């Protein structure tokens, strides 16, 4: 008789039902009594479960790691609206060169149908009011003072009114450059010098309407931009108009040697952390200067929501509505006054 722990081997017929399918040699290598570990069903089930769980956790861990790596390597994507794109695409290059890993969806508001632009603005992460032709003087109370203006584009005046409406209602970061700064001021209730050489100086434009350079002095530090009070730097300038009376709900932070206001921002930096305008052209200035690249970096940082407010913030109760309905009428009835003279903004 076989003992309890003896090996079950029989050349004639296996004495263990589990061994009936094996040959004698297989029985010798595999078969033990029911009390042995290899023949124990519970032992095999537990080992299979352990193996399945190990494979499962390895698969999950690997998948999560791959997914996280994919997220980190994927470029961030943002949408920026330009009031009007220029032929050289200098504004696009200016922002894109700051961080090439960011995918930017650019929208040219000037060529976009209004119905589509309304939808695009809901997705916009930032707005840039670019340089360009003169603002209709009727928007700042001098409706008949067009003789000293250059080209006037009433369509653009109306378009940028829509862009600023959205920027102030949503808190979307907004950068105004040259004409953009001027329109911010006019929109908020300020006025302009129609032709600076007649009222202040001629340092802001070179001969034959070409660009020139002059220094800018920073009079107030800005948290949204890495620029300190007292900084000064040469910048590219090309304009014949500028701020005459600063809107009450804007503040100046930079000036030119002749005293012209060159930098403005909204004083409510809680709701409008980046509502900033510059009279010079940072996108065309020396990137090593203290008043060029930091402007783009600050704007891009705000667009990425690192310093900006979340989109769709309800600011309707605190939004200062300073638009004059009569000015809007000037835009609507004066479309035929657009004309060209030698003096233009770029």
Spatial contact of 134 and 241, defined as CB atoms under 8 Å apart: yes
Q: Residue 178 catalytic?
A: yes
Q: What is the Cα–Cα distance from 251 to 267, expressed in whole angstroms? A: 6
Q: What is the Cα–Cα distance from 159 to 127, expressed in whole angstroms? A: 12
Q: Catalytic residue among 178, 193, 240, 262, which?
A: 178
Q: What is the Cα–Cα distance from 107 to 102, expressed in whole angstroms? A: 16
Q: Which residues contact 253 (CB under 8 A, 6 or more apart)?
A: 218, 219, 220, 221, 222, 263, 264, 265
Please provide the size of the chain in residues. Answer: 346
- Please name which of 62, 147, 166 lies closest in space to residue 107, comparing C-alpha atoms: 166
Spatial contact of 152 and 338, defined as CB atoms under 8 Å apart: yes
DSSP 146: -
Q: Which residues contact 90 (CB under 8 A, 6 or more apart)?
A: 283, 284
Positions marked catalytic: 178, 281, 283
């Amino acid at each position: 008789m076989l003992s309890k722990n003896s090996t079950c081997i029989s050349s004639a017929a296996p004495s263990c039902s589990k061994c009936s399918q094996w040959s004698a040699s297989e029985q010798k290598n595999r078969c033990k009594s029911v009390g042995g570990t290899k023949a124990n069903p519970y032992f095999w089930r537990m080992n299979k479960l352990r193996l399945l769980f190990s494979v499962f956790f390895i698969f999950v861990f690997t998948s999560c790691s791959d997914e996280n790596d994919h997220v980190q390597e994927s470029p961030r994507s943002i949408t920026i609206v330009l009031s009007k794109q220029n032929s050289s695409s200098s504004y696009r290059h200016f922002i894109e060169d700051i961080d090439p890993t960011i995918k930017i969806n650019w929208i040219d508001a000037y060529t976009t149908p209004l119905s589509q632009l309304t939808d695009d603005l809901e997705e916009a992460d930032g707005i840039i009011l670019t340089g360009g032709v003169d603002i209709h003087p009727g928007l700042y109370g001098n409706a008949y003072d067009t003789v000293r203006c250059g080209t006037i584009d009433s369509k653009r005046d109306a378009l940028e009114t829509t862009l600023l409406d959205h920027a102030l209602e949503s808190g979307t970061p907004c950068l105004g450059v040259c004409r953009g700064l001027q329109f911010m001021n006019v929109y908020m209730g300020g006025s302009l010098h129609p032709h600076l050489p007649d009222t202040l100086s001629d340092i802001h434009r070179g001969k034959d309407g070409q660009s020139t350079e002059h220094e800018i002095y920073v009079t107030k530090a800005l948290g949204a931009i890495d620029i300190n009070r007292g900084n000064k730097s040469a910048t590219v300038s090309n304009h014949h108009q500028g701020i005459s009376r600063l809107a009450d709900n804007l503040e100046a932070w930079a000036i030119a040697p002749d005293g012209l206001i060159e930098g403005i921002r909204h004083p409510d930096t809680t709701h409008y952390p980046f509502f900033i305008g510059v009279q010079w052209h940072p996108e065309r200035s020396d990137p090593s200067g203290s008043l060029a690249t930091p402007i783009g970096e600050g704007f891009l940082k705000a667009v990425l929501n690192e310093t900006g407010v979340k989109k769709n913030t309800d600011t309707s109760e605190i939004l200062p509505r300073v638009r004059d309905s009569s000015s809007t009428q000037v835009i609507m009835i004066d479309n035929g006054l657009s004309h060209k003279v030698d003096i233009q903004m770029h």
